[in-house]
């Protein structure tokens, strides 16, 4: 959706920047992405198959060129981290190895109303083992010793992570949200090194084979240890180079510094929303906002989820007309994500102004479908 398609030109000045608060869905494009991707298109045109092993970014090893940077960002060792596939595919590959149900230990604990892809992945994994999700997918408190795996889609590049130190068993994530590596970007996976010799991939391909003997192609699998053995195909070079552009920006700073700004930026947004849009007891007609995200900054990332006392859909429409990009989750939640990398305090201030205009513009509506 371009700005042109959603913005009402009569409500904004042509020279005004839009306010992009959707980094939680799709991060903006780094300036280097186009350069890096074009470099590989040139390499391919000029070198053909030789590109696999020549140049600064030999395609066959391209993911490994970035894995250390990625590992730093999630607080893991590079041997515990792999760049491969998309997030849901990685979730399936990890569950195939970590989920070995028995008759008295077959339940997967997960949040109700999880992201649909996660829900479907877990459901289909349970069915794959011949079990019934109604019995094996329950909300239970975990027993001591069970494996713990995380989907970090909204955590990587948003909050500080120390997967290794926290003793997390396995995790996977996508890199197109806060990591700005482009829609469908190459995803990441992690397995703690303590499982290096015990957890084996269920599905393998030629990239699961130890690099030292991979190209002998004798079809006797010499499996790489740990998460590296979970890689199936050769890495997609164009996606690797887009990921490089995304990761390099994070490498110029660190999550500690970004979080410092993030806590202030989101705190500022929270403070202004509470100031201007709190419920006024003696004026029940005045529209108000409830923030359903935890108010303790240690319990949240940069995103705030807002519930309006009147139709969220119509407020979102008014916001979009005025050049704001954010999104809605049914039935009545508006998600706004000021991203510390590219959003400013001024963006937050302008957002509040525009939000006020937008709420006013919907004021004539009597249809309070989304009352809290």
Ligand X SMILES: *Cc1c(COP(=O)(O)O)cnc(C)c1O
Nearest to 170 by CA among 186, 150, 155: 150
Give, in order, the Cα–Cα distances in Å from 85 to each of 127, 188, 353.
Answer: 23, 8, 41
Task: Tell me how far, at minimum, the Cβ of 280 lies from ligand X, in Å.
Answer: 35
Nearest to 231 by CA among 61, 41, 55: 61
Q: For residue 209, what is the DSSP state?
A: B
Of these, 115, 120, 276, 342, which contacts ligand X (CB under 6 A)?
115
**Contact predicate 58/234, CB 8 Å:** no
Task: Tell me how far, at minimum, the Cβ of 316 lies from ligand X, in Å.
Answer: 20
Q: How does strand 324-325 pair with strand 19-20?
A: parallel
The answer to whether 36 is annotated as binding is no
Nearest to 172 by CA among 74, 246, 248: 74
Distance CA 349, CA 94 (A): 43
- Residue 150 touching ligand X (CB under 6 A): no
CB closer to ligand X out of 89 and 307: 89
For residues 270 to 299, the per-residue mask of contacts with ligand X, x marking binding by CB under 6 A and - elsewhere, is ------------------------------
Q: For residue 247, what is the DSSP state?
A: H
- Residue 337 touching ligand X (CB under 6 A): no
The answer to whether 116 is annotated as binding is yes
Nearest to 225 by CA among 201, 203, 205: 201
- Residue 87 touching ligand X (CB under 6 A): yes
Q: Taking contact as CB under 6 A, which single stretch among the options 75-83, 151-159, 301-309, 335-343 is the one that binds ligand X?
A: 151-159
The answer to whether 140 is annotated as binding is no
Of these, 174, 238, 324, 355, which contacts ligand X (CB under 6 A)?
174
Q: Taking contact as CB under 6 A, which single stretch among the options 13-21, 55-63, 86-94, 308-316 is the one that binds ligand X?
A: 86-94
Q: Taking contact as CB under 6 A, which single stretch among the options 80-88, 136-144, 230-238, 263-271 is the one that binds ligand X?
A: 80-88
For tokens 């903006």, name the residue.
28
Q: Tokens for 27, please give them.
A: 């991060």
- Residue 122 touching ligand X (CB under 6 A): no
> How many residues contact ligand X, by CB under 6 A?
11
CA angle 132, 133, 138 (to 5 degrees): 125
Task: Tell me how far, at minimum, the Cβ of 85 lies from ligand X, in Å.
Answer: 8
Q: Which residues bind ligand X (CB under 6 A)?
A: 86-88, 115, 117-118, 151, 153-154, 174, 187
Per the annotation, binding residues are: 87-88, 115-118, 151, 154, 176, 206, 234
């Amino acid at each position: 959706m371009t700005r042109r398609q959603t913005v009402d030109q009569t409500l904004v000045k042509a020279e005004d920047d839009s306010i992009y608060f959707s980094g939680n869905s799709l991060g903006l494009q780094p300036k280097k992405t186009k350069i890096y991707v074009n470099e590989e298109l040139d390499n391919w045109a000029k070198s053909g198959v030789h590109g696999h092993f020549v140049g600064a970014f030999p395609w066959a090893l391209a993911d490994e060129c970035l894995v250390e940077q990625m590992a730093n960002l999630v607080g893991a060792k590079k041997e515990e981290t792999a760049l491969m596939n998309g997030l849901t595919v990685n979730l399936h590959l990890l569950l195939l190895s970590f989920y070995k149900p028995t008759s008295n230990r077959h339940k997967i604990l997960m949040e109700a109303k999880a992201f649909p892809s996660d829900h479907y992945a877990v459901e289909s994994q349970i069915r794959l083992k011949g079990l019934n999700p109604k019995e094996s997918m329950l909300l239970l408190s975990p027993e001591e010793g069970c494996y713990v795996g995380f989907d970090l889609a909204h955590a990587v590049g948003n909050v500080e992570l120390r997967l290794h130190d926290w003793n997390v068993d396995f995790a996977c994530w996508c890199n197109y949200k806060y990591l700005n590596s482009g829609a469908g970007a190459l995803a990441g996976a992690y397995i703690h090194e303590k499982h290096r010799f015990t957890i084996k991939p269920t599905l393998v391909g030629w990239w699961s084979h130890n690099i030292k003997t991979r190209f002998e192609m004798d079809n006797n699998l010499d499996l790489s240890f740990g998460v590296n053995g979970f890689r199936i195909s050769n890495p997609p070079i164009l996606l690797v180079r887009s990921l490089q552009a995304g990761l390099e920006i994070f490498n110029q700073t660190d999550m500690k510094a970004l979080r410092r700004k993030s806590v202030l930026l989101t705190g500022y947004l929270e403070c202004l929303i509470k100031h201007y849009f709190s419920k006024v007891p003696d004026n029940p007609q005045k529209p108000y906002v409830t923030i359903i995200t935890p108010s303790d900054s240690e319990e949240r990332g940069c995103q705030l989820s807002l519930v309006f006392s009147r139709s969220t859909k119509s407020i979102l429409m008014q916001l979009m007309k005025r050049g704001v990009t954010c999104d809605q989750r049914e039935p009545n939640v508006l998600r706004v994500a000021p991203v510390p990398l590219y959003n400013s305090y001024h963006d937050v201030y302008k957002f509040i102004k525009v939000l006020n205009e937008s709420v006013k513009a919907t004021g004539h509506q009597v249809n309070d479908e989304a009352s809290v």
